[in-house]
Structure 1
Amino acid sequence: MTAIRPRRSVLYMPGSNARALEKARTLPCDALILDLEDAVAPDVKEAAREAVCAAVRAGGYAPREVVIRVNGLDTPWGEADLAAAAGAAPDAILIPKVSHPDTLVSLGARLRRLGAPERTRVWAMIETPLAILRAEAIASAAHDVDTRLSCLVMGTNDLAKETRARFVPGRAPMLPWLATAILAARAYGLDILDGVYNALSDERSFRAECEAGRDLGFDGKTLIHPNQVAAANETFAPAPDEVEHGRAIIAAFEKPENAAKGAISLDGRMVERLHAEMARRTVALADAIAARG
């Protein structure tokens, strides 16, 4: 099993807000998206670019994963954003409005020419109707190692804007799109993050949406305020009884008498080896979260 990196809580931080960039070093989220796109007004985009890249180079964000979201490569700021981000060497660069796998292929070539370190990965926003229709093709770009693709991020606000779908409790209009993107991500070994929740004062509904996203299969949730971090961390972490049961399944299959068995009885229930594989991931995620301290 490849190493698991918790991505329960992934917080957008506006790149034009120096105080926010500093505060981000102390927040208990798993990852930060330092944003040069939606959260930054056109007249301060260049200043935000300089500030974000300087902050990333200065460091101090560990163990948080640091991601820079650039402006679209077809905008006046995109290419300069990409060059600066490549030089700053964050953990990943988030590309907005990816609607075709060729975008990722071209991006990989650009990053290579710019000398971006190999450890800098690419995350792709899934936030247009074409992105949903081409989700499998976009995710398949991960098979080309030069694309560096490692994670998909749902842009539910943009999807609502483009489709005219309404935000309703339970997100019924969006569920087919969310499920399609999750299937595409899993088919090609990618992580995938749920979109943001916009109502900052409705903690109960926020938690309910986190739980629904977790049950649907998301690895975590993108967030717009530090107050959302705790609920996301709790919801997307394995529950203690789930971890305990996972360890019991692993231990049972490791017994010599079960070495050749495809299924065993444990606590009155039939357990197959696929359950052991699921348990190993659950335990690995719990251990990775515990290691963060």
Structure 2
Amino acid sequence: MVEESKIRSFLVLAPGEQAFAAALASGADALVLDLRGDFAPAREPAAALLRLPRPPGLRLYARVAPLSCAAIDADLAAVVAAGADGVFLPEACGGPSIQHLAAKLAVQEAECGRPDGATRIIALATQTPAAIFALGRYAGASARLEALAFDVEPLRRALGAEPASLASEALASTCPASPFALARAGLLLGAAAAGVAAIDGPFAALADARGLIAECRAARRDGFSAKLALDGAQIPPINQTFVGARPAL
């Protein structure tokens, strides 16, 4: 398990100077620069942002390409050399995927002179059907593993489910056999078994402040210690809700 700190909120953003400046002012405990395929040209701008001075205590992560994508090596080369604190791994599927990524990170750290193990891993662990069956296979995978993060929008698309089917407090109560509710419960159990933190997924309804607060409270009650955010306005409610939560990050 990683050493304790007080990360409650992760703000996900596409790399860009204006977005980064706004994110720094949001009060988020950590920023996640998204390098998904749609933003492939943002790899170098992201590296430049990672090199900028940052407020004390702020953690900077990059969401890199999946292991199945050739772009992951270029992503890692850019963000590890730039000093990212960690990477978010999309489509993570149990311990073997973490071990694979850890080996790649070790190579990149050696090549740019960073200490071995300096770059942490957060697994986006509920994005594919196969990943759900691997949630109990993260224990002992790597000392780099920092947390499992909940995100089921890719899973919804893989299943062909309606957008309204996504896991929520109401769904968990009325339909506990939903694949999304099962994924949420499995992630919490898998994170606990691996001795790492569980990060709740983003709340997509940006204008629904009451809904965000309700979801944050439900997440903390169930054992999540932090939450992803899609907008800086979501950070204050998230931080307020998760104050004093189990400090696993």
Indicate the percent of aligned positions where both proteins have the same amino acid: 29
Task: Please give the residue correspondences for 1:133-172 in structure 2 after superposition, counting only pairs within 5 Å.
Answer: 133-137=133-137, 139-142=138-141, 144-145=142-143, 148-163=144-159, 164=161, 166-167=165-166, 169-170=168-169, 171-172=171-172
- Tell me, yes or no, if the aligned pair for 1:104 and 1:141 is still in contact at 8 Å: no
Judge conservation of contact 1:21–1:52 (CA < 8 Å) in 2: no
Residue by residue, what CA displacement relative to the aligned partner does 1:28-72 show, whole Å, maximum 9, x if unpaired? 1111111111xx63xx523x1111111111231432211111122
| One-letter code aligned to 2:6 | P
Give the Å deviation of 1:26: 2.3
Cα distance change of structure 1 residues 175 and 120 upon mapping to structure 2, 3 Å threshold: same
Unmatched 5+ stretches in structure 2? 173-177
- Structure 1: where are the runs of 5+ without partners? 239-280, 289-293
Tell me the residue number matched to 2:206.
Answer: 200
Query: CA distance change for structure 1 residues 85 and 2 in 2, over 3 Å: closer, same or farther?
Result: closer
Match of 1:181 in 2: 187
Residues 134 and 54 of structure 1: CA distance in aligned 2, closer, same or farther (over 3 Å): same
Alpha-carbon offset, residue 232 of structure 1: 0.5
More helix by share: 1
Is 1:33 aligned to residue 28 of structure 2?
Answer: no
Residue in structure 2 matching 1:68, options 48, 62, 72: 62
Are residue 52 (structure 1) and residue 46 (structure 2) matched? yes
Residue of structure 2 in register with 1:132 after alignment = 132
Give the TM-score taking structure 2 as reference length. Answer: 0.85
Q: In the superposition, relative to structure 1, how do residues 202 and 186 fare at CA in structure 2: closer, same or farther (>3 Å)?
A: same
| Contact residue 105 and residue 141 of structure 1 kept, 8 A | no
Query: What displacement does 1:76 show?
Result: 4.2
Following superposition, the deviation at residue 125 of structure 1 comes to 0.6
| Aligned pair partner of 1:81 in 54, 75, 90 | 75
CA distance in 1, matches of 2:46, 2:55: 12
Q: Is the 8 A contact 2:11 2:230 kept in 1?
A: yes
**Counterpart residue number, 1:246:** none
Aligned pairs (5 A) from 1:71-110 = 71-110=65-104
Separation in 2, partners of 1:121, 1:169: 29
Matched residue, 1:254: none
Give the aligned residue type for 1:222: L
Aligned length: 232
Q: Which amino acid aligns with 1:167?
A: L
Q: Which residue of 2 aligns with 1:277?
A: none
1:118-129 equivalences under 5 Å are 118-126=117-125, 127-129=127-129
Cα shift at 1:168:
6.3
Rg larger in 1 or in 2? 1
Q: Which residue of 2 aligns with 1:212?
A: 218
Equivalent-residue separation in structure 1 for 2:2 and 2:59 (angstroms): 17
Amino acid in structure 2 at the alignment position of 1:133: F
